[in-house]
Structure 1
Amino acid sequence: MVVVVAAAAIAIPSWISGNKPASTSTATVKLGVDDAGSAYWKLVAQRAEEQGVKLELVSFTDYSTPNPALVSGDIDVNKFQHLRYLAQFNASQKQDLVPVGSGEIYPIGFYSKKWSSVAEVPQGAEVALSNNPANQVRPLLALKEAGLVVFKGDPGWKATLADVDYAKSRIGKITPIDPTQTAASLDSVDIAFVDSQFAANAKLTAQQEIYKESAERDDLQQYINIFVAKAKDADNPAIATLVKIYQSDEIKQAIHSEKGQDAVFRSDVPVSELKAVLAEQQKQFS
């Protein structure tokens, strides 16, 4: 069962922070997130208040709830998903939620305890990845980009495990496992795709991550994390203020300080381009 666990206003009085007084005219924005406990949101709220926007964070415990909450009007905007996820939601639920600002992308990569570089990975190597088919295409394309697998034909973003041509690939075996076990699998396999949180929990090092995809690849724009609102609120000035604050160097630095350096910010991608990527993705899911 999905539960909304908190809805807290965290606007910080300016007399506490020592900054200039907040505007006497304020607009309230309810923002749905899945990491409301992160300290950087307090800084976002403080800067928003200084510009006349009272930020209320609404915390969600999983990914299935924030979009329906946005559709129903329980929140004004959310920030938890990438464009591909939004495309799937819009197509399956026949909605028209829209991106209103770009955030960060988290490049995926693979780790190894046996090899220190991609060049060292031997012929016939074994790789572990998620057993969720929906989360396999991106690792497969990363393996292709790294020169470790060759596909039969050119499946692109429809690639599956069945498309791997092992006779032409350096990888000899792909083992799908529960993603929570990928870090532990490194004791037995050559390489493994490990989600950043699981990698941190397993204390994997940057040196053990022997490959990371390029966040600048055009085909990865679908994985940019975005602010999302209803179409009618696409030009809401209070939401635009919130997005601009989030994209500031100050907030980027705060996020990196709290969550590490994995996030690559793509605030250079305009909303018009985000919408174009979304439209293309929705065609695939319709």
Structure 2
Amino acid sequence: MPDQSPEHTPLIEAPKSKLPAIIGAVVAVVVVVGLVVFFTTRGGDDKAADGTKLTKVTMGIVDTGDPYWKTYQEEARKQGIDLEYKKFSDYDQPNPALSQGEVDINQFQHIIFLASYDVKNHDDLVPLGSTATYPLGLYSTTYDSVDQIKAGDTVVVPDDDTNQARGLVLLQSQGLIKLTDGGTPFSTLKDVDTSASKVKVKALKADLTPTSLKDVAAAVINNDFVEDAGLKFSDALATDDPSDPKALPYVNIFAVRAEDKDNPTYAKLVEIYQNSAAVQKGADEASGHTAQFVKIPQAQLQKSLDETEKQVEDAQ
């Protein structure tokens, strides 16, 4: 009989755990999958659908969250452009950002606005291509028609020079004020003939005009801020006429630094905007179907800018 004393009791080896091996296998799989994802998606970040390397462009916009900006970005990527946006809330910001190289191109302004900026800042930003003309509207949460606005009421217009002048001309066309200069792209509050005007006029930053409606009779509001204020474009009591031949200086444009006016990538961005049905549809919807899209040659835009800058200089 075998000796069963403690010192002779056979040792039974404990079963080896398989956990370390399993963990090791899982880690290995995760690492492999991670590497595959990294190398397959890394190329997708900087390459277009056809495999060509994307060209990065930063565009300055006054963002209102309209969905078509995303559509435009996607369409640009198909054409080999990695389009990024730098968003501004104030119209006075995108041009200095472009001039200082913070952005490569911007799209938010019309020709008169650019002309005023260039002259006042001794800059040479230029138009690259056209987008659309948008009517400027007069809105109210107090009245349903212009005729209901009472004598002595206060009406607000944007305070930037170009939109202020356009707003004042609109008010004059509706019989609310009289301008001593007859109404020009450079009219200011100083040109309002208070004794011959029905209402008082106050100027506020463009993004603040909608919030002023609770305190005033009416306000001239830029298209960019209409829907943000909970209004509909159809709510406008009156609008100016963007189809007027004199409206060319109010055509919205892409702007670049003078040395970039022949840049083919930036020119392609203009073409995408003008020719993409998806982008045009989105921009039209964002404007409440008020946008009038135009394709104006760069040379004609530049001529209009030159003429308008001369008018700005003469008006100073």
Scaled by the length of structure 1, the TM-score of the pair is: 0.74
Q: Name structure 2 gaps, 5 residues minimum.
A: 1-42
Question: Aligned letter for 1:151?
Answer: L
Question: Which residue of the partner structure matches residue 311 of structure 2?
Answer: 284
Q: How many residues align?
A: 265
Give the distance between the partners of 1:175 and 1:76, measured in 2 at CA: 35
| Identity of matched residues, % | 30
The answer to which of 72-81 and 238-247 deviates more is 72-81
Answer 1 or 2: which has greater helix percent: 2
Matched, 1:264 2:291: yes
Equivalent pair of 2:64/2:224 in contact (CA under 8 Å): no
Question: Which residue of the partner structure matches residue 227 of structure 1?
Answer: 254
Deviation at 1:37, TM superposition (A): 5.9
CA shift in 2, pair 1:37/1:261, >3 Å? closer
Answer 1 or 2: which has greater strand percent: 1
Q: Name structure 1 gaps, 5 residues minimum.
A: 1-11, 15-20
Deviation at 1:111, TM superposition (A): 1.8
Give the distance between the partners of 1:57 and 1:177, measured in 2 at CA: 30
Deviation at 1:82, TM superposition (A): 2.4
Out of 85, 88, 111, the position equivalent to 2:113 is 85
Give the distance between the partners of 2:135 and 2:228, measured in 1 at CA: 18
Question: Aligned letter for 1:86?
Answer: L
The answer to which of 218-227 and 187-196 deviates more is 187-196
Give the distance between the partners of 2:253 and 2:138, measured in 1 at CA: 25
Question: Aligned letter for 1:107?
Answer: P
Question: Which residue of the partner structure matches residue 95 of structure 1?
Answer: 123
CA shift in 2, pair 1:36/1:59, >3 Å? farther
Deviation at 1:226, TM superposition (A): 1.3
Question: Aligned letter for 1:273?
Answer: Q
SS in 1 for 2:180: coil
Equivalent pair of 1:129/1:136 in contact (CA under 8 Å): no
Question: Which residue of the partner structure matches residue 158 of structure 1?
Answer: 186
RMSD: 3.4
Question: Aligned letter for 2:129?
Answer: G
Give the distance between the partners of 2:140 and 2:269, measured in 1 at CA: 40
TM-superposition CA deviations, 1:126-146 (whole Å, max 9, x none):
241147363532211001222
CA shift in 2, pair 1:27/1:72, >3 Å? farther
Give the distance between the partners of 1:152 and 1:159, measured in 2 at CA: 9
Question: Aligned letter for 1:59?
Answer: K
**How is 1:229-268 mapped onto 2 (pairs within 5 angstroms)?**
229-248=256-275, 249-257=277-285, 259-261=286-288, 264-268=291-295
